[in-house]
Amino acid sequence: MNIQWFIDARKARGLTQSELADGICTQATLSRFENNGQLPNLKILIKLCNRINLPLSELFPIVGVRYSEVVEKMNKAEFYLITSKYEEAYQLINSIDIETIEDEHVSFRYYYLNGFIMIFRQQPIMDILFTFDQVLLEEETKDSLIFRLLAYTGIGMVYARENDLSKAEFYFNKVLEKIYNYPVQNMEGTWRVLNIVFQCGVFYSTIEELEISDALLNYAVTICSDNHVTYYLARAAIQLAKNAILKKESKDKILELIYDARAYSKVNRNEIALAELIDLEQSVLLDM
C-alpha cells in the first residue's frame, strides 16, 4: 500500500489530520494509519479517501486490473522473446512503467526480459549490464535464483557479443554450476531454463568447445521432449547443425539436422528460423 500517496493527497488539499478525520474517525486513528501503517477499517478508509478525492485503488497499485495487465504484457513479451520476435517484445516491455511495480518477483522478471531484449536489439553494453545489475545487486533468495541465472547468462551473452570471451566464459560457468540442479515447477520455469541452456550451448560453440555445446543442446532437446515444448527445438537443432558443420561431419548428418529444424520451425511458424535454414541448407548443398 502506498500510504505516501494518501498523505500527499491530504496535504495537497490543505487539510490537517484533524480536519480530515472530523466526523469520520479520531485524529489518532488517522495518525496511526499515516505514521505506522495501521489500517482503519475499510468503511473509514473509503470515507477518508472520498473526502480527499483519492480513488481507493490508488493505494493498491499492484493489484487488480492494472497489475494483471502488466503481468499479461510480460507473458506476451516472454513468449515473443523465445520465438525471436524481439521488436514485438520491445514494444510490450517499453509500455510498462517499472515505477508502478512493487512486487520484487515481477520486477526481476521485467529486468530480465528488458535485458535480453536489449541484447537482441544491439543496445550499448553498459546499459545492458546496468539492467541486469537491478537483479544481481539484490539479495539472493529462492524465488530470485532463476532471474539471477538469467542475468548471468545475459551478461555472458553481451561479453561474447563484444568478443571478450574470457569474461563471457566466467559468467556462463557461473550459470552451469547451478542450472542442472534448478527445480523447474511450471512452464515458465521450463522456458527460462531452456533459454539458459540454449544460450550456453551457443556460446560454447562460439569458442569451439563443441563437445560441451552438443551436450547442452541435446539437453535442451531432452527438456523440450520431456515437457512437450517445441519452441527451442528448432533453435537447438539449427545450432547442432552448425556444430556438425564445424566438426566436418557427414553431409547426410548435417542435412538431417537441418530438416529436423525445418520441421520444428514449421510447427512453430518461426519464419526467422526458416529463412536461416534455407541459407544453411544451400551452403551445405553447394559444398557437396
Domain-wise residue ranges, the chain: 3-59, 62-182, 212-288
Residue 155, classed as helix, strand or coil, is helix
The answer to whether domain 3-59 and domain 62-182 are alike in fold is no
Mark out the alpha helices in the chain (DSSP H runs).
3-12, 17-21, 27-36, 42-51, 64-82, 86-94, 104-120, 125-136, 145-161, 165-179, 187-206, 210-227, 233-246, 251-268, 271-286
Higher local confidence (pLDDT), 238 or 68 = 238
Has residue 65 got a pLDDT over 50? no
Quote the CA–CA distance of 150 and 179 in Å, as a whole number.
10
Q: Any idea which residue has 539458459 for its cell?
A: 196
- Which sign, positive or negative, has the C-alpha torsion 106, 109, 113, 115? positive
CATH 3.60.10.10 given to domain 62-182: no
- Please give the model's pTM, rounded to 2 decimal places: 0.71
pLDDT tens digits, one per residue of 87-133: 999 999 999 888 878 788 889 999 999 999 999 999 999 999 999 99
Which one is the CATH code of 3-59: 1.10.260.40, 1.10.8.60, 1.10.287.3510, 1.10.510.10?
1.10.260.40
Angle between helices 187-206 and 145-161 (to 10 degrees): 30
pLDDT digits (tens, 9 = 90+) for 142-159: 778 899 999 999 999 999
C-alpha–C-alpha distance, residues 68 and 96, integer Å: 12
**What values do phi and psi take at 165, rounded to 5?**
-70, -30
Burial of 36: CB neighbours in 10 Å, binned 0-12, 13-18, 19+: exposed
Angle at 161 between CA 156 and CA 163, to 5 degrees: 95
